[in-house]
Amino acid sequence: MTQPQQKNFESVRMGVDYYPEHWDETLWEEDASLMQKSGVAIVRVGEFAWSRMEPKDGEFDFGWLDRAIDLFGRYGIDVVIGTPTHTPPRWLTTKCPDVLPVMSDGRIFQPGVRGHRCFNSRSLRRYGERLIGKLAERYANHPAVVGWQTDNEFSMLDSQSPQAAEDFRDWVYRKYGTLENLNREWGTVVWSGEYSDWSEVTPPLGGSPYENPSFLLDFARFQWDSVAEFQAWQIAAIRKHCPNHFITHNFHSYPQRLDLYKVGDELDFASFDYYPNTSPGKSGTAPYSGALSLDVTRGIKRKNFWIMEQLSGSPGAWMPMWRMPQPGYIRAYAWQAIARGADTVVHFRWRSANIGAEQFWHGLIDHSNVPGRRLAEFAEMSSEAQRLAPLLAGTTPSASVAILMSHEQLEALRIQKQTENFDYYENIKEYHRTLTKLGIDCDVIDWRQPLDGYRVILAPHLYLLDDEAAERLCRFAADGGTLLLTARSGVKNMNNVCVMRPLPGLLADCAGVTVREYDPLGSDIVRLDTEDGEQFASSQWADILDPNEGGHAEVLARYGGYVFFAGEAAVTRNPFGRGEVYYLGTHPEEDYMRSLLLRIAQERSLPYAEGLPAGVQISVRSGESGSYLFLLNLGREARKFRISGAYTEALQSEGLLSGRRYGNEIELSPYEVEIFRF
């Protein structure tokens, strides 16, 4: 079964993360055998093991890795190898201190934990290429090895090392060419910040968050390019020897300041490390922010993805331990991942570590090595996944709605926080949660992607804008799409400079409205009065809108209450070409968003489901083999409910997991999962 074929990574399978070097070799075979019995089809190894692969400069030892990979091969388990650049060994950081990042306060990011590697370090590249080259060469034709993971969980470090500083200066020079351009585009004249010599261009020394916002945004972009380049040389080193292996990276913890799309560009597919919060106090939001994370990951490459690390027990290391997952939790969240486009799901980790700082980041098996409840649940899940894999093969979620996500907006709005509780990603979370509660499948994609095929686009807070992006959005609406814009759109050009035109700037035409003035509400609440006489609460921001003269924008909601702009337009809809553009001048509470998005769903014939209780989610994978409806109770409570909308018929079929048929009234026990074919 595991003869490697060309980049085969699209089947639904279960795996585990395993660190052979952490365990006495006498345990390995027993572990592999139990893995096999538990349905493990994939193992990830190698990540972090530089000091074992190359104990001293140029002295390589792959014997242990050979034996481990051979062993997995014998048990029919495929292997993914992680490149160990996340953890340069001590001999390397001693010999080449330029490997270490320099933090914004000038202190060195010391070894001792992990992630102590400056993406711009030339030594790291030299030593890293050598090691990865040897690894790739060695395992290129190993029958058990199917692919690679680069580094681990990239994130931005704001390194100010001399090399990072020099690279940044070059980056700026390549972008702007002359100091005149640079000073003009960044507006450095403010506070006498003008550069009179290229040598004065440095990273943000001291790390003040109040430096020039144009400069800070470019420093972020430079880092995105640095990480991408850091990964690119790794990918080149692997591809040279292993053209048939896939290459992925395990993204984590959204939102990342890092631009996922830039880093994802050269990957075969994206992976995600998925640790939904087990706290009862988070049970109202965790299933939804998890759903968003999965949709974001799917959007990186706009196709199915892997989970490279999936919750297997209570995490605890960088924080005190979380609650232990309840029975059913591990399985339900693995199914959620698959429902939203994960193919292979790799659980972190096989057994809880007995050594090191992540001892209490629990694996499927406890330190005692006595297999227990969690491994049994994993094995049940594996068996189900194995049974359904042929059906799910080639299926993928497909949505008619997309939310546009932009790391440039995220970063620019982080640099200049608009109001106290205004948060770009939290707002995206709210929109996405509202859609999820309505059972509306949704893509989350890079705002630079083509919009063909979508009926509805939510484009929140396009704060930075250029002609190209504005035109694409307007064309989408003109061509028949429904476009939803919000406050803080079109405020700036791409260099983080405010534009001298009425808001929403380049989008004012298609929105059909102009912002007369605004009030940064912060945490204060204003009333929203709809055309139907309903009242809602709203906060964060209030654009006071004037429908453009001679246009056709209709006002859907106005401000109410005691504000000076009571009676003014807050939410509008503008017919535009063959489509329409909604403009939300404020951030309404979820109930309002729900009614607005339901209206749009109905008008635009999107599949939706009314009646989903809290924590219960629906999503669909489709392909040549048919369509599969996943019904997941991701909550701690049993639920009894009726659904109206698109899926009534599908829910009448026999459940693929239980073989049960559900009536009109569906009952789900806590963490129960069902799958229907339709």
Stretch 71-110 residues interacting with its own copies (CB under 8 A) = 84, 87-91, 94, 105-110
**Span 593-622, contacts to its own copies by CB under 8 A:** none
Q: Is the peptide bond before 504 cis (omega within 30 degrees of 0)?
A: yes
Choose between 1 and 355: whose C-beta lies nearer to its own copies. Answer: 355
Least distance (Å) between residue 526 CB and its own copies: 11
Give the distance from CA 619 to its chain's centroid.
Answer: 18
Buried b (16+ CB within 10 A) or exposed e, 20-49: bbbbeeeebeebbebbeebbbbbbbbbbbb
- Exposed/middle/buried for residue 183 (C-beta within 10 Å: 0-12, 13-18, 19+): middle
Total Cβ atoms within 10 A of residue 356: 12
Choose, from 10, 47, 153, 580, the residue flagged as catalytic. 153
SS3 sequence, 347-384? EECCECCCCCCCCCCCCCECCCCCCCHHHHHHHHHHHH
Identified binder of its own copies from the candidate list 502, 577, 607, 613, rule CB under 8 A: 502
Contact indicator for 386, 394 with CB cutoff of 8 Å: no
Contact indicator for 78, 146 with CB cutoff of 8 Å: yes
Give the distance from CA 377 to its chain's centroid.
Answer: 26
Choose between 236 and 324: whose C-beta lies nearer to its own copies. Answer: 324
Least distance (Å) between residue 671 CB and its own copies: 10
Least distance (Å) between residue 552 CB and its own copies: 22
**Span 266-305, contacts to its own copies by CB under 8 A:** 279-281
- What's the sign of the alpha-carbon dihedral 132, 134, 140, 143? negative
Choose between 505 and 588: whose C-beta lies nearer to its own copies. Answer: 505
Which amino acid appears at position 21 of this protein?
A: E
* Element housing 519 (H / E): strand 513-530
The yes-or-no answer on residue 229 being catalytic is: no
Choices 126-134, 232-240, 289-297, 354-362 (CB under 8 A): range interacting with its own copies = 354-362
* Element housing 329 (H / E): helix 329-339
The yes-or-no answer on residue 309 being catalytic is: yes
Going by C-alpha positions, the residue among 231, 241, 62 that lies closest to residue 137 is 241
What distance in Å separates the CA atoms of residue 619 and residue 635, rounded to the nearest whole number?
16
Identified binder of its own copies from the candidate list 181, 253, 368, 658, rule CB under 8 A: 368
Q: Using the rule CB under 8 A, is 44 a contact of its own copies?
A: no
Choose between 9 and 50: whose C-beta lies nearer to its own copies. Answer: 50
Least distance (Å) between residue 35 CB and its own copies: 18
Token pair for 207: 């790390």
* Stretch 477-496: interaction string toward its own copies, x if CB under 8 A: --------------x-----
Choices 6-14, 415-423, 439-447, 459-467 (CB under 8 A): range interacting with its own copies = 415-423
Going by C-alpha positions, the residue among 264, 364, 270, 258 that lies closest to residue 312 is 364
Choices 75-83, 236-244, 316-324, 530-538 (CB under 8 A): range interacting with its own copies = 316-324
Least distance (Å) between residue 294 CB and its own copies: 25
* Element housing 510 (H / E): helix 508-511
Identified binder of its own copies from the candidate list 293, 312, 400, 418, rule CB under 8 A: 418
Choices 233-241, 318-326, 470-478, 586-594 (CB under 8 A): range interacting with its own copies = 318-326
Going by C-alpha positions, the residue among 42, 393, 441, 485 that lies closest to residue 248 is 42
Which amino acid appears at position 54 of this protein?
A: E
Token pair for 253: 């913890």
Least distance (Å) between residue 298 CB and its own copies: 30
Q: Using the rule CB under 8 A, is 323 a contact of its own copies?
A: yes
Give the distance from CA 435 to its chain's centroid.
Answer: 17
Contact indicator for 298, 340 with CB cutoff of 8 Å: yes
Identified binder of its own copies from the candidate list 494, 497, 537, 555, rule CB under 8 A: 497
CA distances from 218 to 168, 172, 191, 364, 411 (A): 9, 8, 19, 43, 10
Least distance (Å) between residue 321 CB and its own copies: 4
Token pair for 333: 């969240």
Identified binder of its own copies from the candidate list 380, 509, 524, 529, rule CB under 8 A: 524
Identified binder of its own copies from the candidate list 51, 155, 386, 548, rule CB under 8 A: 51
Identified binder of its own copies from the candidate list 7, 21, 133, 268, rule CB under 8 A: 21
Least distance (Å) between residue 319 CB and its own copies: 8
Helices (H) and strands (E) in the chain, counts: 17, 25
**Span 528-567, contacts to its own copies by CB under 8 A:** 564
Identified binder of its own copies from the candidate list 25, 420, 467, 667, rule CB under 8 A: 420
**Span 164-193, contacts to its own copies by CB under 8 A:** 186-193
Going by C-alpha positions, the residue among 319, 308, 311 that lies closest to residue 251 is 308
Choices 4-12, 34-42, 300-308, 419-427 (CB under 8 A): range interacting with its own copies = 419-427
Choose, from 185, 309, 377, 580, the residue flagged as catalytic. 309
Q: What are phi and psi of 674, to 5 degrees?
A: -140, 150
Least distance (Å) between residue 658 CB and its own copies: 20
Total Cβ atoms within 10 A of residue 73: 17
Identified binder of its own copies from the candidate list 37, 113, 652, 658, rule CB under 8 A: 113
Q: Using the rule CB under 8 A, is 7 a contact of its own copies?
A: no
**Span 213-272, contacts to its own copies by CB under 8 A:** 213-214
Choose between 113 and 236: whose C-beta lies nearer to its own copies. Answer: 113
Choose between 324 and 453: whose C-beta lies nearer to its own copies. Answer: 324
Reduce the DSSP state of residue 625 to 3 states and report it: coil
Choose between 193 and 577: whose C-beta lies nearer to its own copies. Answer: 193
Going by C-alpha positions, the residue among 332, 322, 148 that lies closest to residue 244 is 148
Least distance (Å) between residue 602 CB and its own copies: 36
- Rounded to the nearest 10°, the torsion over CA 247, 252, 255, 257 is -60
Q: What is the DSSP letter of 636?
A: S
Total of chain residues touching its own copies, rule CB under 8 A: 104
Choose between 480 and 498: whose C-beta lies nearer to its own copies. Answer: 498
Least distance (Å) between residue 618 CB and its own copies: 25
Choose between 22 and 175: whose C-beta lies nearer to its own copies. Answer: 22
Q: Quickly tell me which residue has 């063909």 as its tokens.
A: 452
Q: Using the rule CB under 8 A, is 318 a contact of its own copies?
A: yes
Identified binder of its own copies from the candidate list 37, 55, 126, 468, rule CB under 8 A: 55
What distance in Å separates the CA atoms of residue 582 and residue 473, rounded to the nearest whole number?
12
**Span 369-408, contacts to its own copies by CB under 8 A:** 369-370, 372-374
Choices 194-202, 228-236, 394-402, 471-479 (CB under 8 A): range interacting with its own copies = 194-202
Choose between 162 and 480: whose C-beta lies nearer to its own copies. Answer: 162
Strand partners, 61: none
**Catalytic positions, written as ranges:** 153, 309
